[in-house]
Structure 1
Amino acid sequence: MESLGQLLSQMKNPQLRRRSEELSAELLNSPLVLSLRAAHPELTDEQLHLNMAKLYQYVNTNRHCSNCPGLDDCPNDFPGHYTKLTVENTGGRTQLIDRQVPCDKQNQRQTELAVKKRIHSFYVDERALEEGYNEVEIMMKDRERAPAVAQVIKYINETREDGLQTQGLYLEGHFGTGKTFLMCYLLHELAKSGYSGVIVYMPEFVEDLKSMMLDNQKLKESVEVMKQADLLIFDDIGAENLNPWVRDHVMGAILNYRMNRKPTFYTSNHSLSALEKHLSFTNKDGEEQHKGQRLMDRIAPFVDVVQVHGSNKRGRNQ
């Protein structure tokens, strides 16, 4: 259709006036407008002619939507939205009200953006957080991993039904069995329910903390993000090269704040007992069993252990 505004602005031209009348007739006989009139017989011809610009927008945006080229190429004046007409009675007077309403694709994009904003990643490939997840596919990828997948899905469903829990999960398994993938799935699913999440790749985080010692503000902000997130995941714990300051003043502070408040999750190649030995040894002070045990007192009682079995999936679709 031509621009109604252009036609109406040049009404002095007889040909354009005739074309405007043809356009008006075309609009009034369009299926959308006929359906509107059938649903609202109180609409008069005069009211429809007075609201011809709204009718034009209504028909035009819906025509574009029926032949949608995709959200990025949306031809509507307000991309991702279409015109919705409603008939309202105000003070005994019938009025035709137009509103711009987001389409399904726009709503989906907004949901995806909201999910992204709720998840913060420290040194974890963010592509893993943007996967298109499917429960059945995840379950069937590796039958050996199915019991672990079932436990993770059960946790997600219980959180959706009962709210945020204080107990987290400890995913233990060999290298490449998909532990990080399952935790990213958990974050993604619960972010859709409105929960914020942080995932931290421990080996690189611990190394980067050395530079943060000289930037107290950055350190404080990072620690605060981890304290306050609804869901916190320490990925590959036990693979980092610990020092006493990281263990006692950073990890200790974060876990001390979160215990009995918010759930913390872990992925590791170590069992809990092996992790305690790892946490007891630092490259500076050697073995300090009581300090490792102190940190484990903030981990072990607040997690359910999930054994993740299966083949090494590194380099393949999880």
Structure 2
Amino acid sequence: MESIQQTLHKMKNSTNILDRFQRLKDEVLSDKLILDFIQSNPTLSEHELDRNVSRLFEFRNERKNCTNCSSLQECSNMMGGYQPQLYTERGQILIRYNVCDKKKSADERKRQQTLIKSLYVPKEILSATFDQLDQDNRSRLVAIAKAVEFATTTNPGENGKGLYLHGKFGVGKTFIMGAIANELAERNISSMLVYTPDFFRELKSGIHDGSYNEKLEIVKSTPILILDDLGAETMSSWVRDDILGVILQHRMLEKLPTLYTSNYDYEELEEHLSYSQKGGIEQLKAKRIMERIRHFAEPISVEGINRRGN
């Protein structure tokens, strides 16, 4: 088989074409990665190199894109998120495309996000990490330390202990819970964040559309349940006893941790749970719910400015 140079010599205007080919070859062969590849494959023939100048040129350009790449979204390679690799097979130069580190990280992030389910929780909460949390007062330092400890050590089914973050509106309790959920995902532990008032309303409507039992079962059985803004709902005996009580009883028996955020401390929450829409006061039933919360969740006060700005 003729070499490329032999073929080019026979073509009209071959001198100009051959010059351009040689310049391209020299440019390609000056690339460090290609030189390293050639040196690690000393049996490659000159003919094989000539035959694959365009392939080597493609490799060089694609790898240059990878070197200058700032994010997966800005990837300009032919196959976004894939990095070229030269290899030989039976004396031939070939290119394979492997998943790059940025795409691996993005794919892993997507996989982890599937472990975090949410109901009525803002999207920014689902992307929270511990690195993003402000540590501007002692109570937040303590809360973050407890949250990190929980997220890195909890084992659903073995230890049902959770956390109860309480404090004023907007101090960042839910954001801390989002960071916990993402850290749990790193450990392949599934969690569910539930904005409690909306979830209770959805369960109530589920009685009419037949979805009540299914939705209740999902929340009861999720490995880590985060009840956000407990106490913000309109309390009724049915919500307290047949929803919250049933959920907590199941999770207590199965040793599945439950975490909470609330504007109320334990005493205030107990008072809230003792009232119903009908105006009655049912302290004993409220105490039963509170016993399940107190025994299985450590109370942590979170103080600070209103970070929501309203």
CA contact (8 A) 1:111 1:192 kept: no
Match of 1:147 among 132, 142, 148: 142
Match of 1:250 among 243, 250, 270: 243
What do the CA deviations read for 1:150-182 (whole angstroms, capped 9, x no partner)? 22122223249x997421111122333322221
Query: Which residue pairs with 2:162 in the alignment?
Result: 168
In the alignment, does 2:206 pair up with 1:205?
Answer: no
Q: Is the partner of 2:299 in helix, strand or coil?
A: strand
- Distance in 2, Cα, partners of 1:17 & 1:229: 68
Q: 1:301 to 1:131 in 2, by over 3 A?
A: closer
Q: Is the partner of 1:299 in helix, strand or coil?
A: helix
Paired letter, 1:190: L
Query: Which residue pairs with 1:60 in the alignment?
Result: 61
What do the CA deviations read for 1:22-50 (whole angstroms, capped 9, x no partner)? 53454334322111122332434344455
Q: 1:17 to 1:223 in 2, by over 3 A?
A: farther
Q: 1:80 to 1:305 in 2, by over 3 A?
A: same
Hey, which bits of structure 1, 4+ residues long, moved more than 6 A? none
In the alignment, does 2:229 pair up with 1:228?
Answer: no
- Distance in 1, Cα, partners of 2:191 & 2:66: 35
Q: Is the partner of 1:266 in helix, strand or coil?
A: strand
Q: Is the partner of 1:292 in helix, strand or coil?
A: helix
What do the CA deviations read for 1:28-74 (whole angstroms, capped 9, x no partner)? 34322111122332434344455556433321210122232643342
CA contact (8 A) 1:58 1:82 kept: no
- Distance in 1, Cα, partners of 2:262 & 2:214: 26
Aligned 1:239-278 pairs, distance under 5 A: 239-259=232-252, 260-278=254-272
Deviates more, 1:219-228 or 1:235-244: 219-228
Query: Which residue pairs with 1:158 in the alignment?
Result: 153
Query: Which residue pairs with 1:4 in the alignment?
Result: none
CA contact (8 A) 2:117 2:193 kept: yes
Q: Give me the identity figure in percent.
A: 36
Q: 1:288 to 1:57 in 2, by over 3 A?
A: same
CA contact (8 A) 2:128 2:176 kept: no
Q: Return the offset for 1:290.
A: 3.4
Q: 1:47 to 1:286 in 2, by over 3 A?
A: farther
- Distance in 1, Cα, partners of 2:278 & 2:92: 78
CA contact (8 A) 2:129 2:182 kept: no
Q: Is the partner of 2:230 in helix, strand or coil?
A: coil
Aligned 1:67-216 pairs, distance under 5 A: 67-68=68-69, 70-87=71-88, 96=93, 98-131=95-128, 133-134=130-131, 138-139=134-135, 141-159=136-154, 165-216=159-210
Deviates more, 1:126-135 or 1:26-35: 126-135
Paired letter, 1:153: V
Query: Which residue pairs with 1:5 in the alignment?
Result: none
Q: Is the partner of 2:292 in helix, strand or coil?
A: coil
Q: Return the offset for 1:276.
A: 2.8
TM-score (structure 1 length as normaliser): 0.79
Query: Which residue pairs with 1:33 in the alignment?
Result: 34
- Distance in 1, Cα, partners of 2:244 & 2:139: 32
TM-score (structure 2 length as normaliser): 0.81
Match of 2:274 among 280, 285, 289: 280
Query: Which residue pairs with 1:310 in the alignment?
Result: 304
What do the CA deviations read for 1:69-127 (whole angstroms, capped 9, x no partner)? 64334221111111122457xxxx56655332222332332233233322222222122
Q: Return the offset for 1:194.
A: 2.1
Paired letter, 2:228: D
- Distance in 2, Cα, partners of 1:43 & 1:258: 65
In the alignment, does 2:283 pair up with 1:289?
Answer: yes
Query: Which residue pairs with 1:238 in the alignment?
Result: 231
The CA RMSD over aligned residues, in Å, is 3.2
Q: Is the partner of 1:304 in helix, strand or coil?
A: strand
Query: Which residue pairs with 2:44 in the alignment?
Result: 43
- Distance in 1, Cα, partners of 2:11 & 2:219: 68
